Amino acid sequence: MIKIKLPDGSIKEYENAVTALSVATDISRGLAKAVVAAKVNGKVKGLTEPIESDADLLLLKFEDEDGAHVYHHTSSHIMAHAVTLLFPDVKLAIGPAINNGFYYDFDTEHTFTDEDFALIEKKMEEIIKADYPVERFTLPKDEALKFVKDNPYKYELISELDENEEISFYKQGDFVDLCAGPHLPSTGRVKVAKIMSVAGAYWRGDEKNKMLQRLYATSFPSQTMLDEYIYKMEEAKKRDHRKLGRELDLYDIFEEGPGFPFFFPKGMEIRNQLIDYWRREHKRAGYGEIITPIILNEELWHKSGHWDHYKDNMYFTTIDEGNYAIKPMNCPGGMLAFKRRMYSYRDLPLRTAELGLVHRHELSGALHGLMRVRCFTQDDAHIFMTEEQMKDEIIGVINLMKKIYALFNFEYKVELSTKPENSMGTKEQWDIAEKALQDALESLNMKYELNPGDGAFYGPKIDFHIQDSIGRTWQCGTIQLDFQMPERFDLTYMGADGNKHRPIMLHRALFGSIERFIAILTEHYAGAFPVWLAPVQVKVLPLTDRQADYAQKIRDILLAKDIRVECDFRSEKIGYKIREAQLEKIPYMIIVGDNEMENNRISVRVRKIGDIGTMFLEEFQNRIVKEIENKL
């Protein structure tokens, strides 16, 4: 007797081995139709895989993340199947499910174009209609290798697997693919698929390898869901900071300076508000602010290790026949600032912040609006401390980061990145540093992912990643431990014992880059910034020329309270002025006609709500001042 326990606690009993599909059928026919995979004792399995002993069973639908994953994975096989039929010379590489879809990497002489998409989709439809059962079979490693001998990619993948491992394959019609699975029971379970784009992708993500052609696609259980997805993506694109930055006249990048952004008065307003806030928080958290030069002698960069590890990303220049570098990071300058005098252990931890403008030579193909630029302002800080202070300092920084991100209601992902291949220092130092970061994360109960080998060349780091409008994530905040720079620069402090000791250094940035952070904010708010950040907070709209003086008076009063206010004196109808202010995403409009003027009042219109009626200017002023103070 096999007992299958369902999530609601109920138990179904079966004489013999049973499949998740038949359990679903027992519950209801509708469920059997909707279910796409199952979690058996917490592991995702195919619906038709036999369950041979007692198990906890969770039936997965497309709506479940794991369910969608299986659904998309089978879809990727269908796409590979279709491509194989249309382009027989194609060699398959890998084709996993990803967020919102799937891709497959192909090696073929043919260059895929947009016109091929429709052809491939049509072929996929045929495979779906044929409703081939998707069957799993396994081979021992040596036979598996023989089976894929004509495909170097699959051959390489299998070669790396364990000798004794059973290698699983999935077969649908005549198409067979190496795959760990699981899969849908048959191809007909996929309803609609759409190829989204084609792009180059290096085999195994290594630029030394051959570049393959990657087809990105998605699939859904219904046309309606696909349409909704496409609509959603189009809507999301309207939030693109590059578009909004231009429309709202905040910032832009021109052909004359690829990767070098311009900020205009309205963008600067946002930037300055952020920085004001940043300065207040840092003063409170015990930081002193410094500024270090953008250009420093090349020697410094040899000493810091940047020459050996970061030269390709740096710009250089000559002054009076001397060689100079344009800083890609602020730390070496920070080192000089520390070294200028002697410190006591009583001075530690010493927290030094710098809004430092750094320049980096990024690959042209990597540039992306304000998200990825060639010059940006890091809200950097260097904390010099003793080993005992390390953990508390890390925790302090994480808490400050959490406080700032909470202000914007950001969802973020935390990653711990460890020792990369080409790094400075000893393994012991790295171990201590990595452990300190990990301990801090764990003592705060933070969820994080491990990202092995992705640390900076001088130390491991904790990174904070935030999503953009279409779900791409960007690293913003970062906390990096560094034993190397203090050693290279021979930094010391005087200990209680009268001897010189070496401090440990922590690099950190909260926004990460002001430019990237503003891009994230623009997309996060879809350009409708909260009052405290809005470039223009209030627009006064006189109904006719008769109210011009009154409008001006209102503006002057608000200006005197540091409220950012503009007037629209043009001889346009009120509807027109409102529409324009609305499109500019200005939080408050003050509308004044003869009525308001006679009663010494104002009409207020809120961006999100609409007309909220008339009030005295003083009432409005109290309201908006309070909102600004509370950062709403």
Partner RNA sequence: GCUGACAUAGCUCAGUCGGUAGAGCACCUCAUUGGUAAUGAGGAGGUCGGCAGUUCGAUUCUGCUUGUCAGCUCCA
Among 5, 61, 246, 623, binds RNA (CB under 7 A): 246
The catalytic position among 64, 379, 380, 468 is 380
Q: Among this protein's residues, is 501 annotated catalytic?
A: no
Locate 239 and state its tokens: 């939030």
User: Cβ closer to RNA: 362 or 566?
Assistant: 362
C-alpha 59/C-alpha 37 separation (Å) is 6
CA distances from 266 to 28, 237, 246, 516 (A): 59, 22, 11, 16
265 binds RNA (CB under 7 A): no
Q: Among this protein's residues, is 302 annotated catalytic?
A: no
362 binds RNA (CB under 7 A): yes
- Residues of this chain, 155-214, that bind RNA according to CB under 7 A: 197-202, 205-207, 211, 213-214
Which distant-in-sequence residues (6+ apart) come within 8 Å of 211 by Cβ? 200, 201, 202, 203
- What angle is formed at CA 162 by the lines to CA 157 and CA 168, rounded to 5 degrees? 60
367 binds RNA (CB under 7 A): yes
The catalytic position among 273, 378, 537, 621 is 378
Pairing of strands 588-592, 538-542: parallel
Sheet strands (E) in 173-311: 175-178, 192-202, 211-220, 251-252, 262-263, 288-289, 295-297
- Among the listed ranges 281-289, 315-323, 363-371, 530-538, the one in contact with RNA (CB under 7 A) is 363-371
Among 94, 127, 373, 538, binds RNA (CB under 7 A): 373
User: Are the C-beta atoms of residues 104 and 212 closer than 8 Å to each other?
Assistant: no
- Among the listed ranges 56-64, 255-263, 339-347, 348-356, the one in contact with RNA (CB under 7 A) is 255-263
User: Are the C-beta atoms of residues 21 and 51 closer than 8 Å to each other?
Assistant: no
- Residues of this chain, 270-329, that bind RNA according to CB under 7 A: none
366 binds RNA (CB under 7 A): yes
The catalytic position among 73, 183, 461, 539 is 461
C-alpha 473/C-alpha 519 separation (Å) is 12
Q: Among this protein's residues, is 179 annotated catalytic?
A: no
User: Cβ closer to RNA: 39 or 382?
Assistant: 382
CA distances from 267 to 61, 240, 367, 405, 632 (A): 45, 15, 20, 20, 19
224 binds RNA (CB under 7 A): no
User: Cβ closer to RNA: 378 or 522?
Assistant: 378
User: Cβ closer to RNA: 86 or 367?
Assistant: 367
- Residue 495's nearest CA partner among 386, 340, 383, 337 is 386
610 binds RNA (CB under 7 A): yes
Torsion sign across C-alpha atoms 133, 134, 139, 143: positive
User: Cβ closer to RNA: 246 or 501?
Assistant: 246
- Residues of this chain, 381-410, that bind RNA according to CB under 7 A: none
593 binds RNA (CB under 7 A): yes
- Among the listed ranges 123-131, 252-260, 383-391, 557-565, the one in contact with RNA (CB under 7 A) is 252-260
Locate 178 and state its tokens: 């190496």
365 binds RNA (CB under 7 A): yes
Among 326, 543, 558, 565, binds RNA (CB under 7 A): 543
Q: Among this protein's residues, is 378 annotated catalytic?
A: yes
CA 230: distance to chain centroid?
A: 21
Helix axes 390-407, 265-284, angle to 10 degrees: 140
C-alpha 439/C-alpha 349 separation (Å) is 19
76 binds RNA (CB under 7 A): no
110 binds RNA (CB under 7 A): no
**Residue type for position 42:** G
Please tell me whether residue 206 adopts helix, strand or coil conformation. coil
Exposed/middle/buried for 469, CB within 10 Å: 0-12, 13-18, 19+?
buried
Which distant-in-sequence residues (6+ apart) come within 8 Å of 575 by Cβ? none
421 binds RNA (CB under 7 A): no
567 binds RNA (CB under 7 A): no
The catalytic position among 507, 508, 516, 577 is 507
374 binds RNA (CB under 7 A): yes
The catalytic position among 72, 306, 331, 463 is 331
Locate 301 and state its tokens: 């960069």
Among 56, 545, 549, 619, binds RNA (CB under 7 A): 545
- Residues of this chain, 470-489, that bind RNA according to CB under 7 A: 470, 472, 474-478
As measured in angstroms, the least distance from the Cβ of 311 to RNA is 13
- Residues of this chain, 445-464, that bind RNA according to CB under 7 A: 454, 456, 463
Q: Among this protein's residues, is 359 annotated catalytic?
A: no
- Residues of this chain, 492-511, that bind RNA according to CB under 7 A: 509
The catalytic position among 45, 306, 360, 585 is 360
Q: Among this protein's residues, is 213 annotated catalytic?
A: no
C-alpha 216/C-alpha 76 separation (Å) is 9
As measured in angstroms, the least distance from the Cβ of 606 to RNA is 9
- Among the listed ranges 15-23, 71-79, 88-96, 468-476, the one in contact with RNA (CB under 7 A) is 468-476
C-alpha 381/C-alpha 404 separation (Å) is 15
C-alpha 566/C-alpha 579 separation (Å) is 15
User: Cβ closer to RNA: 253 or 385?
Assistant: 253
User: Cβ closer to RNA: 30 or 575?
Assistant: 575
User: Cβ closer to RNA: 156 or 545?
Assistant: 545
Residues annotated as catalytic (active site), given as ranges: 331, 360, 378, 380, 382, 461, 507
